[in-house]
C-alpha cells in the first residue's frame, strides 16, 4: 500500500515510477487522509467533497509529480551544473524575508547573487554555464517565434480563404439571380 504513495526507483536508480500513484490519486475514493499521513506535503488537506474529489486528487498528483521530478533532476545533474535558486551562487548566503531579493544574472536568468560584488567575483566560474543557458533560451525563443509565425501565416491564409469563399458565394448567388432575370426576360420576348 505504501508503494502507491511513494515513487520507487526503477532500473539504474534514476527513473521514478509514478503510475501507481496516478492510479490511486485518480481512481480511488477520496484518499487524502492516506496521502496526508504518508506524505509530508499534505499535513492539512482541504475538505474533500464528491464534487471536488477529482480536482483535489489531481492537484495532489501534480504536486507529488513535481516534487519527484525536481528531486530526480537535481540528483542526476552533475554538481557543477546544479543551480540552487535559494542561495547566493558565490557566498551561499540565504535571503531573508525582510531583505531585498537576490539579484539575478541578466543573461541566463538562473544564477542568483546577494550583491553585485558576489556576482562580479563569480562571473569567471559562471560564464560557461551562463553562455550555454542563454543560447538554449535563445534557441527556445526562436522556436517559439517560428511557431507563432506559422500560426499567424495559417491564420491569415484562413482569413483570406474565408473572405474569398464569401465572395464566391455572393458571386454564385448573383449569377443565380442574374440567370433567373435573363430567363424571365427571354420568356417575355418570345
Q: What is the pLDDT of residue 181?
A: 59
Q: What is the pLDDT of residue 50?
A: 56
Q: What is the pLDDT of residue 98?
A: 63
Please state the domain extents for the chain: 2-76, 103-189
- Cα gap 60→41, rounded to integer Å: 9
Element containing residue 112 per DSSP (H, E) = strand 112-113
Q: C-alpha cell of 43?
A: 499535513
Is the distance from CB of 113 to CB of 119 less than 8 angstroms? Answer: yes
Three-class SS state of 98: coil
- Cα gap 4→143, rounded to integer Å: 38
- Cα gap 20→72, rounded to integer Å: 18
Q: What is the pLDDT of residue 11?
A: 46
> pTM, whole model, 2 decimals?
0.31
Is the distance from CB of 102 to CB of 114 less than 8 angstroms? Answer: yes
Q: What is the mean pLDDT of each run of 10 residues along the chain (190 residues)?
A: 45 48 51 49 52 62 68 50 64 71 77 84 84 80 71 73 78 65 57
Q: C-alpha cell of 9?
A: 526507483
CB atoms near residue 95 (< 10 Å): 14
Amino acid at each position: 500500500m505504501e508503494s502507491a504513495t511513494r515513487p520507487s526507483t526503477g532500473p539504474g536508480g534514476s527513473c521514478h515510477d509514478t503510475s501507481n500513484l496516478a492510479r490511486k490519486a485518480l481512481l480511488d475514493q477520496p484518499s487524502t487522509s492516506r496521502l496526508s499521513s504518508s506524505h509530508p506535503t499534505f499535513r492539512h488537506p482541504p475538505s474533500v467533497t464528491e464534487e471536488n474529489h477529482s480536482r483535489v486528487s489531481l492537484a495532489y498528483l501534480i504536486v507529488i509529480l513535481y516534487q519527484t521530478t525536481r528531486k530526480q533532476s537535481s540528483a542526476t545533474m552533475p554538481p557543477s551544473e546544479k543551480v540552487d535558486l535559494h542561495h547566493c551562487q558565490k557566498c551561499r548566503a540565504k535571503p531573508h524575508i525582510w531583505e531585498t531579493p537576490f539579484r539575478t544574472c541578466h543573461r541566463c536568468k538562473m544564477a542568483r547573487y546577494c550583491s553585485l560584488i558576489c556576482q562580479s567575483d563569480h562571473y569567471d566560474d559562471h560564464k560557461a554555464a551562463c553562455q550555454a543557458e542563454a543560447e538554449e533560451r535563445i534557441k527556445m525563443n526562436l522556436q517559439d517565434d517560428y511557431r507563432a509565425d506559422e500560426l499567424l501565416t495559417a491564420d491569415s491564409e484562413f482569413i483570406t480563404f474565408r473572405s474569398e469563399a464569401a465572395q464566391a458565394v455572393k458571386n454564385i448567388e448573383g449569377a443565380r439571380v442574374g440567370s433567373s432575370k435573363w430567363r424571365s426576360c427571354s420568356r417575355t420576348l418570345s
